[in-house]
């Protein structure tokens, strides 16, 4: 039951909902969950959450495409997003700004493989770092 709760809170923490997956991870460790079990379920839930964000961004692109391409600012934003979008994924592990960046990655139609590789690795690394901080 604890692993399901950790998975769920980590999933919700990766969305734009106000949940803290880091707190759930640390509480799981404090309650004697084996560290690598906590790492696996927190990472798995969080990565599925950012994948949901990415696909929501793709969906929003289809809905906002005409508005974005109709204005000079929108076209510039799309251009900059395509040009620097992969670099911004380096910040996707950060609390507060990281989760919206994963949605923007879908909105800017970044390649899923690179999105998944960079953002997923950073999510695992964040929990791994927290695991050794305790």
Lowest mean pLDDT across 8-17, 45-54, 60-69: 60-69
Q: pLDDT > 90: what percent of the chain? A: 56
> What is the full DSSP assignment across 37-78?
HHHHHHHHHHHHHHHHHHHHHHHHHHHHHHHHHHSHHHHHHH
Query: Which pTM was predicted?
Result: 0.88
pLDDT single digits (tens) 87-125:
988 988 888 888 888 988 998 889 999 999 999 999 999
| pLDDT at res. 1 | 67
| pLDDT at res. 9 | 94
pLDDT single digits (tens) 52-67:
999 999 998 888 878 7
Token pair of 103, please? Answer: 């949605």
Query: Look-up: residue for tokens 């999933």?
Result: 11
The residue with greater pLDDT, 8 or 16, is: 8
DSSP letter (8 states) at residue 90: G
Instruction: Give me the mean pLDDT over the 70-77 stretch.
Output: 82
């Amino acid at each position: 039951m604890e692993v399901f709760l950790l998975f769920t809170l980590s999933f919700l923490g990766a969305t734009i909902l106000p949940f803290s997956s880091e707190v759930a991870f640390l509480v799981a460790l404090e309650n004697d969950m084996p560290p690598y079990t906590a790492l696996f379920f927190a990472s798995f839930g969080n990565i599925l959450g950012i994948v949901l964000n990415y696909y929501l961004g793709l969906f929003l692109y289809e809905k906002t495409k005409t508005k974005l391409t109709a204005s000079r600012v929108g076209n510039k934003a799309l251009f900059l997003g395509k040009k620097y979008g992969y670099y911004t994924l380096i910040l996707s592990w950060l609390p507060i700004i990281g989760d919206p960046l994963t949605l923007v990655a879908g909105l800017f139609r970044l390649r899923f493989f690179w999105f998944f590789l960079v953002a997923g690795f950073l999510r695992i690394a964040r929990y791994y770092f927290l695991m050794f901080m305790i």
